[in-house]
Amino acid sequence: MTTGDPYNLARSILQKLSCSISLLCSLMIISSITSSKINLSKTQQRLLLGISCCDSITSAIWIFTDLFMPPSGNIHTCNAQGFIIQFGNISNVLYMVALQIQYVLTIKYGWNDTKMKKLEGALLGVPPAFGSGTAITALVLDLYNPADWDCWIAPYPGDCTSTFEINKGNSDLEETDCIRGNNASIYQWAFFFAPLWTAIVFCIGVMAVVVKSVKKVEERTARAALKSNRISRLVIRRPSRRSGDVPHPDARGDEENAADRQTIDVQRQSPSAVRFTLEHTAIRQTTETPPANNPKSDLSAKNNLPRRKKPKLALTSRVKAQSVLYALGFFIVWSFPTMARFIQLIGGTMHPILGVLAGCFIGSQGLWNAIIYFRPKYNKIDKDHWWQKIWVLIRSTLLCCVDFSAIGISLATTACCANGKPS
């Protein structure tokens, strides 16, 4: 496409806009995590910090992509941009895989923070290690060249014949005519597209496992609650009789006969259910008819009973929602670039609109991450309008130590500031 092509112009403008917003959102997440010692101590927050750092550097590079590519730039600036994009993008992808691994271990297998610390080194270390390894290899092999809207792994000239094509017999050439980027398509797959598509499939699979696991927990909790409600209705009441007064069975009232039937039903239950019923009955009896000579009997009876822990279903559901949303955001960002690459793979012609969407969405990972990350905080902000809530989030992260009193704006001290300095 030529420089004056409207699709090329739209892609350039929309990509810079989405990358600018994504950069701002990633910096908000970085500020929110680094300003809290509690957040920094959690593996999940550390992984999000790595994702945000990778997204911020790639977004910044894409904003100024025209300065790195020829004719404004040269081979050295093109190498620099290609190196940063390769490192940032593939590290971001692998960090997202590590985040989903952390979620499935926490939700399905019940790993706590102490147990997660043992795996934290691999989760945090593998993504940048693979990213730096592939980026350095591509730099040494002279693979970074102009590719569509940025400098990345590509052949130069773009229509040159690689050694791989010559060896397959698809060309009459005896040696490659590529000046740089020989066999670039192979390295594109090995260094990025194969790990990317594997990560997408993995994240979708983890999302399904997490949803199924939480659904089982919800069903099990519902059955336990229903059983507890049924057992709690069984109350054993023994009728008071005077000494020596033994009425005939037929002369007993309906209430006593019903109590005996309930006693038989309770005896037929499991020992744990009987124990729970007796404990519940003790509380009911001491509450309804406390002894006159022992006013603290009700309190002591309750204190002697074993305390049951409340289920953590609500917390598990919130964690599941975050896991699913991060996976969906990751899938949305890379859906259009993946479709564009697949069309090129099968030898089809990519529509210019698909190229615009791919260029726009590929730099929006930080935006989606921020929407998901700040969603719980956003819902708790007591403001009437959405833009007021967003301003509160921006103020509490990026502008927490800025004094607006000089221009007549009074802002309350935020959590990330103490005495004018970040806490």
pLDDT in tens, 136-178: 999 999 999 998 788 999 999 888 889 988 888 877 888 889 9
Q: Which of 27-31, 164-168, 417-421 has the lowest mean pLDDT?
A: 417-421
pLDDT at 46 over 50: yes
Please report the pLDDT score of residue 402 as a whole number: 58
Q: Which of 108-112, 231-235, 268-272 has the lowest mean pLDDT?
A: 268-272
Please report the pLDDT score of residue 90 as a whole number: 96
pLDDT at 290 over 70: no
Please report the pLDDT score of residue 352 as a whole number: 87
Residues 6+ apart with CB under 8 A from 42: 113
Q: How far apart are CA 144 and CA 58, in angstroms?
A: 15
Considering 50-54, 216-220, 406-410, the range whose residues carry the highest mean pLDDT is 50-54
pLDDT, greater one: 297 or 350: 350
The model's pLDDT over 55-86, given as tens digits with 9 standing for 90+, comes to 999 999 999 988 898 888 899 999 999 999 99
Q: Find the angle CA(39)-CA(42)-CA(45) to the nearest 5 degrees.
A: 65
Nearest to 207 by CA among 90, 332, 122: 332
Please report the pLDDT score of residue 406 as a whole number: 56
Q: Which residue has the tokens 């130069």?
A: 156
Confidence of residue 315 (pLDDT cuts 50, 70, 90): low
Please report the pLDDT score of residue 29 as a whole number: 96
pLDDT at 422 over 80: no
pLDDT at 309 over 90: no
Q: Which of 86-90, 207-211, 400-404 has the lowest mean pLDDT?
A: 400-404
pLDDT, greater one: 194 or 274: 194
pLDDT, greater one: 258 or 105: 105
Buried-exposed string 80-96: b where 16+ CB fall within 10 A, e elsewhere = bbbbbbbbbbbbbbbbb
User: Could you tell me if 336 and 358 are in contact, meaning their C-beta atoms sit under 8 angstroms apart?
Assistant: yes
pLDDT, greater one: 87 or 107: 87
pLDDT at 276 over 80: no
Q: How far apart are CA 201 and CA 194, in angstroms?
A: 11
Please report the pLDDT score of residue 366 as a whole number: 94
Q: How far apart are CA 93 and CA 21, in angstroms?
A: 19
Transcribe 70-138 into DSSP letters: TTTS-HHHHHHHHHHHHHHHHHHHHHHHHHHHHHHHHHTS---HHHHHHHHHHHHHHHHHHHHHHHHHH
Please report the pLDDT score of residue 248 as a whole number: 52
Does residue 144 sit in helix, strand or coil? strand
Please report the pLDDT score of residue 333 as a whole number: 92
Please report the pLDDT score of residue 278 as a whole number: 44
Q: Which residue has the tokens 């967003």?
A: 390
Please report the pLDDT score of residue 22 as a whole number: 96
Amino acid at 275: R
Please report the pLDDT score of residue 286 as a whole number: 46
User: Could you tell me if 361 and 332 are in contact, meaning their C-beta atoms sit under 8 angstroms apart?
Assistant: yes
Amino acid at 261: R
Q: How far apart are CA 82 and CA 228, in angstroms?
A: 62
The model's pLDDT over 337-351, given as tens digits with 9 standing for 90+, comes to 888 888 877 777 888
Q: How far apart are CA 397 and CA 379, in angstroms?
A: 17
The model's pLDDT over 211-249, given as tens digits with 9 standing for 90+, comes to 888 888 777 777 777 777 777 666 544 455 554 555 554
Q: What is the mean pLDDT of the chain?
A: 79
